Amino acid sequence: MRHVVVGTAGHIDHGKTSLVKALTGTDTDRLPEEKARGITIDLGFAFLEEPDGLTIEIVDVPGHERFVKNMLAGVGGIDLVMLVIAADEGVMPQTREHLAICSLLHIKSGLVVLTKTDLAEPDWIELVQEDVRSLLEPTFLAGCPIVPVSVRTGAGLVALRAELAALARSVPVKGTDQTPRLPIDRVFTVRGFGTVVTGTLTAGALAVDDRLESYPRGVQFKVRGLQVHGRAVERAAAGQRTAVNLQGVERAAIERGDVVAPPGALVPTLLADATLELLKDAPRPLKTRDRVRFHVGTQEVMARVLLVDRTQLEPGEASYGRFRLEAPIVALPGDRFVVRSYSPIVTIGGGTVLDVVPPRFKRKTPALLAHLTLLERGTPAQVLEEHLKQAGAAGARGADLRARTAFGPERLPALLDELQKAGAIVAVDREWYLHREANDRLRSQTLGLLEAFHAENPLRAGISREELRSRAGNAQERVFDQLLTRLEAEGVVRSERDQVRLAAHTIKLNAEQQKVVSGLEADFLRAGAAPPSPEEALAKLGVKGTERHELFQLLVAERRLVRVKESLYFHADALGAVQDKLIACLREKKDIGPADVKDLLGITRKYAIPLMEYFDAQRITVRQGERRVLRGA
Ligand SMILES: Nc1nc2c(ncn2[C@@H]2O[C@H](COP(=O)(O)OP(=O)(O)OP(=O)(O)O)[C@@H](O)[C@H]2O)c(=O)[nH]1
Ligand SMILES: [Mg+2]
């Protein structure tokens, strides 16, 4: 089962809709206004089934110059174009404009239908054919079949159908390893069913009960039903005209231009980098900051264009542009788009989307140019590496890379693997990646910070992990954790509790410092349950300072002194002895008050109260009024 999408194109009244009807039996002009005016206003849909299982989906577009925007919403998803030219009138303005649009969208092939041949003399038809050939010469339709037909007499219709089927069979099969996307071209409600959207599925498949999302508004829903050609189906495949019945979504929450895809698979953006070419016959140069109409998929959004390496793009020239969009678009790199001027509304150019999450760059810098050139011309692996390079120290999640590249769910992991093996990127964990350069930069920055910290604080064992992370440019937490884990595994860094240090760092005391530290420790040990204040202890050794003194803190960091409350420290051994006595006493007496503690340890209230509170906090005792009992006793 193959589905190939053919779009009509051509000037108003040249017979597109009549031709579709003659081929398929379907009148695609459904609107009352279309019937009344005898012109096509919006898109119409029909199909042809070939005996071998090939289905040719036909999108009929309006030719009126005022409805080119509708035409653009229709041709975004087509594989082939059927350029319809009336033999009596020949090439007209929208013949050219539609042809230019198809060229800009990189439609691969198609054919020309020279219709209304019953209205022209053979000589004249001959001349028109010449004219058409020279029009097509510089385009993708150069040398394509030109099929003369008359809907009135039926002449040429059989030959046309055969040409169409042959062309359709030569269209390459659509990729399966791609994000399924349904750019919405119609939204309506069906009584008893609710909201229905239609579009041409670009890739992959959709199935009933799938959980999907409508972008850019992020409305999530379940597929209640699917229809293809008016028949209910369980599954819709790439290339099929698909109608999706959304469960629980208001009609007003969706409009033409929105895109249906799996949740998280796409990123709406207000900024897009792209290649940009101006048509040779554009009426004037395009200047940076010009306001344009940006058409991608079935969407039209106003935008300002910033030219990357010049202030003005001349007709026929190509460069890179950054588009500041006035409403979010939903696209993937590789998508083609069309640009029309704000006023007068004419098609002036187009290009390929390169990046939908563009990095911040100072405009016009050679770096930006090099970056965009790589995105345009690089191999898939180079493009992916470039995205990770731009992500810097923050790195990127695999799922986010998928939403901003055209690589499918199978291709992307394979490319990430390849880059990892080549040493270009580092896997932070199973879903987070970092460019090698960012990794190395963060690593040397972190080691440098540790070195500097030790040099400035020779008597401190280490720096807190959080402090270090924030000094290292507020590194992404997962990235930083992974770096420290690796540095530890390599034996370069040690971390204890929340303190990090270089493995090589040791605290070296000179003789005088050593004397102070030993003196302090001895003093507190001797004082037992009635220790001096830090100031007193230091002063006794001839040092001026408080508990913040670094030699004092050294004993605290090593847990030889334990802080019971502000400015009240006990030697760890003394505190251990106090705890033992207290527990023994509590076992015997069941509960004790401050007076018991004073007597037991021979200390004053000044020590007894903080000690009792300390043991409460340590969850050894529980307070009951003014008395304490053993916790859990
Ligand atoms: N004599 C003759 N008339 C034709 C032929 N094909 C179409 N017409 C007539 O041309 C007029 C326009 O035909 P449409 O099919 O509506 O043209 P269209 O290209 O779809 O027009 P838009 O969608 O508005 O751009 C109608 O009156 C048709 O009957 C033909 O082969 N011979
Ligand atoms: Mg029509």
* Residue 94 CB less than 6 A away from ligand 1: no
Query: Is the full-model pTM beyond 0.85?
Result: no
Distance CA 250, CA 196 (A): 10
Do residues 115 and 151 touch, judged by C-beta distance below 8 A?
Answer: yes
CA of 467 to the centre of ligand 2 (A): 68
Do the bridges between strand 80-86 and strand 109-115 make them parallel or antiparallel, or are there none, so unpaired? parallel
Distance CA 511, CA 77 (A): 82
Residue 1 confidence (pLDDT)? 76
Token couple for 138: 């510089």
**Closest residue (by CA) to atom 7 of ligand 1?**
15
* Residue 18 CB less than 6 A away from ligand 1: yes
Q: Relative to the alpha carbon of 114, which ligand is closest?
A: 1
Residue 152 confidence (pLDDT)? 97
Which helix (H) or strand (E) element contains residue 532?
none
Distance CA 382, CA 401 (A): 13
CA of 34 to the centre of ligand 2 (A): 9
Q: Relative to the alpha carbon of 37, which ligand is closest?
A: 1
Residue 429 confidence (pLDDT)? 84
Residue 24 confidence (pLDDT)? 96
Residue 394 confidence (pLDDT)? 87
Q: Residue 408: what residue type?
A: G
Distance CA 482, CA 488 (A): 10
Q: Relative to the alpha carbon of 10, which ligand is closest?
A: 1
Token couple for 396: 């990127």
Separate counts of helices (H) and strands (E) for the chain: 19, 34
Q: Running DSSP on this structure, what letter comes out for residue 332?
A: -
Sign of CA dihedral 478, 479, 483, 484: negative
Q: Residue 372: what residue type?
A: L
**Closest residue (by CA) to atom 14 of ligand 1?**
15
**Closest atom of ligand 1 relative to the 14 alpha carbon:** 19
CA of 100 to the centre of ligand 2 (A): 19
Using CA atoms of 181, 183, 186, 188 in order, give the dihedral in degrees to the nearest 10.
50
* Residue 256 CB less than 6 A away from ligand 1: no
C-alpha distances in angstroms, 609 versus 86, 526, 581, 587, 612? 103, 21, 16, 20, 5
* Residue 15 CB less than 6 A away from ligand 1: yes
Residue 221 confidence (pLDDT)? 95
* Residue 55 CB less than 6 A away from ligand 1: no
Torsions phi, psi of 541, nearest 5? -95, 10
Token couple for 64: 């009126």
Residue 377 confidence (pLDDT)? 96
Distance CA 616, CA 629 (A): 10
Sign of CA dihedral 397, 399, 400, 401: positive
Ligand 1 pocket mutation, candidates 8, 12, 16, 18, criterion most atoms within 8 A of CB: 18
Q: What is the mean pLDDT of each run of 10 residues along the chain (633 residues)?
A: 93 98 95 93 94 94 95 93 97 96 95 97 96 96 97 97 96 84 94 92 92 95 93 92 92 94 94 96 95 96 94 96 96 96 94 93 78 95 94 88 88 94 91 93 95 90 92 88 92 89 88 92 94 94 89 90 94 95 92 92 93 94 91 78
Residue among 34, 33, 75 nearest 21 (CA):
34
Tally Cβ neighbours within 10 Å of residue 250. 11
